[in-house]
Structure 1
Amino acid sequence: MKIEKKKDMPIGVFDSGVGGLTVAREIMRQLPNESIVYFGDTARVPYGSKSETTIIRYSRQIIRFLLTKEVKAIVIACNTASALALDAVRKEFKIPIIGVVAPGARAAREETINKKIGVIGTEATVKSEIYKKLIQAEDPQISVSGRACPLFVPLVEEGFAKHKITQEVIDIYLSDMRKSDIDTLILGCTHYPLLRSRIREYMGEKIHLVNPAYETAMDLKRLLAEEEMLRDIPVNGQEEHGEYSFYVSDAADKFKQFANSILPYDIETTKQINIEEY
């Protein structure tokens, strides 16, 4: 395929639900010329309590769907799927695929001063210890402690980010982490940046919060440049940004409303598909 043709192709981005929109938002900001096809698996959210086998199956289905949209690269904008399925799908599909874990681990390793890092995420992500493995592979002197926060995802998905009950849940999950001597905390789920201000308020200003979304967007930019697939101008040549398409497996109207509350550009339509067909 000609290089110019590949440059015009969109980037596929997927997550278990709305959390991956934090990554899509960062891609829109850092790579405004790129087009995006986003899939949110809203019918099967959350992923964090599912088995590795199930997460890999879901990821395969979604990637097969995204390939029908002729994407040039795929971003797994979900920590759970990045932790449990990335290696498997990279072996299976001949397309560049990146996750959010490695960029976040690198950023935390570079930020910590006292070499004590905390990670919050879904049960599956924390149990996998993927952040700990990646960080200590580069610096064994860094200690990494994890805390699963399974209720954060449904609270975000249901629009309770600013509700007082969320603050109570934050206290339950993070009280021990706040008492510890970590200086860096990884928001190890793409839903969690939507709780960033509440977590920041609770943990205090001295703790550096790492949001892997920005680092992931920059990794994607480097990857596309290396592969000569970076889009120089918007695909339609006139608009100030690329074209964005959104698909979900359930509750399209609810997803659209949420997306329009956090993305820099309004989306007009969200299409619902049966992902089990892929």
Structure 2
Amino acid sequence: MKIALMDSGIGLLPTAAAVRRLRPDADLVLSSDPDGMPWGPRTAQDVTARALAVARAAARHRPDALIIACNTASVHALPALRAALEPGLPVIGTVPAIKPAAADGGPVAIWATPATTGSPYQRALIRDFAGSVAVTEVPCPGLADAVQHADEAAIDRAVAAAAALTPSDVRAVVLGCTHYELVAERIRAAVQRAGRPPVTLHGSAGAVAAQALRRVGGGAPLSAERAGTLAVILSGRPAELPEAALAYAQGRLLKALSPVR
């Protein structure tokens, strides 16, 4: 089995690591666009064009499925990607985990890039899945870029700024950008208020990985002895995992896979 994942940058690491845990024998293809990072401030047309280029680079490796491990690309480019690649290549998008977060009763905060915050796509998800639950949309300018470069000081500043916009009584925070899952514990610490119940974070990586495997009929590993391989594509070029990826546990997990070009 071969699963490809695409994103603007290393935000695909949490979903790739989730696939790796579920199917350690699967070969992984990671295609991203560091030359075009960040995608959040770009127009919908520009995001779509760049996402198509990244997806086609991954598709040349003939994967069994392609995961769009990027909320911004899923918001703006999912229909175009499916039109270009399906039915030959199943395409699985990433949806913010608003429904499970709202199921706890709220209040809920959704941390997302400025491009996703307030978008018709996100507003529709809130309308359809949050019901009467109080939801606050929190834009996080600069956070994805800081995570991409493992810039500790910039991550701290961006997390603190978003936490200041997050109501003190929230019970759940939706991580509406895949990059944010790499710093989930820092976000949890920033939004947790003294004397309040523990805040639950809701990411999408595990659910999206499981959905991709269901689409291609992937259950238990075929062989407990076979370890999957890893192919990395950076803006269309064969490469290795970026150094910044190794700052995160998910990147170090994937680094152990045998590289292929």
TM-score (ref. length: structure 1): 0.80
Q: Pick the aligned partner of 2:180 from 153, 178, 192.
A: 192
Aligned residue in 2 for 1:98: 92
**C-alpha contact 1:11 1:74 (8 A) present in aligned 2:** yes
Aligned pair count?
251
Change in Cα spacing, 1:152 to 1:139, as seen in structure 2 (3 Å) is closer
Output the aligned Cα RMSD: 2.6
Corresponding residue for residue 86 of structure 1: 78
Go from structure 1 to structure 2 and tell me whether the alpha carbon gap of 1:169 and 1:265 turns closer, same or farther (over 3 Å shift).
closer
Contact 1:33 1:231 in 2 (8 A): no
Aligned equivalents of 1:222 and 1:135: distance in 2? 26
Question: Deviations for 1:189-237, whole angstroms, at most 9, x for unmatched residues?
Answer: 1111122121111111622111111111122222222xxx557425xx8
Asked whether the 8 Å contact 1:245–1:270 carries over to 2, the reply is yes
Q: Among 155, 158, 175, which residue is 1:166 paired with?
A: 155
- Report how far residue 101 of structure 1 moved: 1.1
Counterpart residue number, 2:53: 61
Q: Tell me how far apart the structure 2 counterparts of residues 151 and 254 of structure 1 sit (CA, whole Å).
A: 25
CA distance in structure 1 between the aligned counterparts of 2:129 and 2:90, rounded to whole angstroms? 24
Cα distance in 2 between the residues matched to 1:144 and 1:257? 36
Out of 127, 143, 152, the position equivalent to 1:152 is 143
1:254 CA drift (Å):
8.4
Tell me which of 228, 242, 246 is aligned to 2:232: 246
Deviation by residue 1:73-127 (Cα, 9 ceiling, x = unmatched): 110011100111112222332121111115x2333233x223x321111111113
Aligned residue in 2 for 1:25: 17
CA separation of 1:99 and 1:248: change in aligned 2, threshold 3 A: same
Q: In structure 1, how many angstroms separate the alpha carbons of the residues matched to 2:189 and 2:126?
A: 26
Quick one: structure 1 residues 174 and 256, their matched pair in 2 at CA, closer, same or farther if it must change by over 3 Å?
Answer: same
What SS does structure 1 have at the residue aligned with 2:11? coil
What is the SS of the residue equivalent to 2:177? coil
- Label 1:216 to 1:175 Cα distance change in 2 as closer, same or farther (>3 A): same
Partner of residue 190, structure 2: 202
How far apart are residue 129 of structure 1 and its match? 4.5
SS at match of 1:126: coil
Aligned to 1:141: 132
Give distance in 2, aligned partners of 1:176 and 1:218: 32
1:177 to 163, 166, 169: 166
Partner SS state of residue 242, structure 2? helix
* Residue 101 (structure 2) aligned to one of 100, 103, 108: 108
Closer/same/farther in 2, CA of residues 193 and 259 from structure 1, 3 Å limit: same
- Cα distance in 1 for partners of 2:225, 2:258 equals 19
Match for 1:128: what amino acid?
A: S
The answer to whether the 8 A contact 1:14-1:76 is kept is: yes
Please, which runs of 5 or more residues in structure 1 have no aligned partner?
1-7, 272-278
Q: How has the CA–CA distance of structure 1 residues 22 and 133 changed in structure 2, closer, same or farther, with 3 Å as cutoff?
A: same
Cα deviation 1:21-75 (Å, max 9, x = unaligned): 1111111112222211111211101000000001111111122222211111110
Could you tell me how far apart the structure 2 residues matched to 1:141 and 1:56 are? 33
Task: Indicate the SS of the match to 2:67.
Answer: strand
| CA–CA distance in structure 2, aligned partners of residues 268 and 36 of structure 1 | 10
Partners in 1 of 2:149 and 2:130 — Cα distance?
A: 38
Distance 1:50 1:231 in 2: 39
Deviation at 1:169, TM superposition (A): 3.0
Deviation at 1:134, TM superposition (A): 2.0
Secondary structure of the residue aligned to 2:61 is coil
TM-score by length of 2: 0.85
Contiguous gaps of at least 5 residues in structure 2: none
